[in-house]
């Protein structure tokens, strides 16, 4: 396990991870952008509330991505079954 230095809301953090440094930094940048967006739009919120809203926004995006992934996988499965039926028809036909 290695350590990576990241910066979120003007504070440095050292995180331990087995992941790639670049990916960890990209994740930190993404989280920081979400936090900064909320901080700019709602200037009177505490950092705790900003963090909670950012977490909810990120979770919402995650679940939307999961839903899109499921829809794509269902479409691929449907098309694959259609192709298999066509192949079976040609072979048996």
pLDDT tens digits for range 18-68: 999 999 999 999 999 999 999 999 889 999 999 999 999 999 999 999 999
pLDDT recorded at residue 93: 76
Question: CA-CA distance, 21 to 47, in Å (whole number)?
Answer: 26
Mean pLDDT of 86-92: 94
pLDDT recorded at residue 10: 94
Contacts of 9 by beta carbon, 8 Å cutoff, 6+ apart = 32, 35, 36, 39, 47, 50
For residues 69 and 61, the answer to whether their CB atoms sit within 8 Å is: no
For residues 21 and 10, the answer to whether their CB atoms sit within 8 Å is: no
Mean pLDDT of 72-84: 98
Q: Which residue has the tokens 């200037």?
A: 43
pTM: 0.80
Mean pLDDT of 69-85: 98
Mean pLDDT of 60-89: 98
């Amino acid at each position: 396990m290695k350590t990576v230095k990241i910066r979120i809301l003007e504070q440095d953090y050292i995180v331990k991870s087995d992941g790639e440094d670049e990916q960890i930094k990209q994740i930190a940048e993404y989280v920081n952008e979400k936090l900064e967006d909320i901080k700019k739009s709602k200037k009177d919120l505490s950092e705790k509330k900003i963090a909670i809203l950012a977490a909810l926004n990120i979770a919402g995006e995650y679940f939307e991505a999961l839903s899109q992934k499921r829809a794509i996988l269902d479409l691929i499965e449907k098309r694959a079954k259609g192709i298999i039926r066509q192949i079976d028809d040609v072979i048996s036909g």
